[in-house]
Amino acid sequence: MKKTSAQSSISSPKSEQDLALRQPLYVVVAHTLQKEIEQGKYTVGSVLPTEEMLVDRFQVSRHTIRQALRELKDQGLIQARAGIGTIVRTQPGKIWMMSGLNSLVDLLEFATETEMHILNTSTVTADRHLVKMIKCELGSKWLHMEILRCLPDQPRPLSFLKVYVQPKYAPKLKKLKHMREPIYAVLEREYGVRIAEVRQELTADSLDHDIAELVDATPGQAALSIIRHYYDSRGELVQIALGYYPSGRYTQTTRIHSKLDE
């Protein structure tokens, strides 16, 4: 007499869960609310239903509702204040599409909008120079690809990428010449790999002659250089990308929130 009062309005009890969605309840709730915010059901500045009302609506415990709201809070989507309620802060996607990078979802979705032209592909062993560049293990082997990333309606490339992928994923990658989807999407489709975390390191640099020519920029021009390490859900490093973004073509916004301060 405890199991009978479970889910009702958000996902069918057992039929649809078989193939696709066996997701936790709080994820379902969070997604539902996020979609509704995107669709304008709750506008920026407006107040979300109280936790108790959401409990009634989704027929889950307050604990589950709060966990869902915490996800949205961590994304900077909403802001909760005791005594007031939960207000919508920003509309996801809309404004930040091209520049935003607040969550992994944003990062990956942004990558989807670009075209990838693969210049060359090779297999490399990490020497000291490469170890220093991308902070991998000495002697480790990698599939190396050089890529130009372009936006559909822009004359000049967005960036030049040097990508290093674990060799076990080489078969499906090494013959590619052109992609409309990022490499992580290929890995997911072909190998079932899901990226769970990205760590990136960001500096300013001057473009050298070779790269400047590739991206149609002037040598010495300022550029963002970004090194990204991609990890799967088990914490294994699957991909490293080194990107050069000439100044004026890319801006990155980040949100840093405080929960633990002293």
Residues contacting residue 35 through CB under 8 Å, at least 6 positions apart? none
Give yes or no for residue 26 binding DNA (CB under 7 A).
Answer: yes
211 CB-near residues (< 8 Å, 6+ apart) = 160, 223, 244
The answer to whether 211 touches 160, Cβ cutoff 8 Å, is: yes
Under the criterion CB under 7 A, does residue 60 sit at the interface with DNA? yes
| Closer residue to its own copies, CB minimum distance, 120 or 192 | 192
Distance CA 12, CA 77 (A): 27
Among DNA, its own copies, none, the one that 161 touches (CB under a kind-dependent 5 to 8 A) is none
Which one of DNA, its own copies, none is in contact with 31 (Cβ closer than 5 to 8 A by kind)? its own copies
Chosen residue from 10, 32, 51, 136 binding DNA by CB under 7 A: 51
Among 19, 20, 84, 204, interactor with DNA by CB under 7 A: 84
Tokens of 213: 């020519």
Answer for which of 13, 40, 83, 152 binds DNA (CB under 7 A) is: 83
For position 153 contacting its own copies by CB under 8 A, the verdict is no
C-beta separation of 25 from 7 below 8 A: yes
CB nearer to DNA: give 6 or 222.
6
Residue 219 interacts, among DNA, its own copies, none and using kind-specific CB cut-offs from 5 to 8 Å, with none
Query: How do 222-232 and 78-81 pair as beta strands?
Result: unpaired
How many residues in the shown chain lie near its own copies by CB under 8 A?
55
Contact (Cβ atoms closer than 8 angstroms) between residue 11 and residue 60: no
**Given 71, 110, 212, 243, the residue binding its own copies (CB under 8 A):** 71
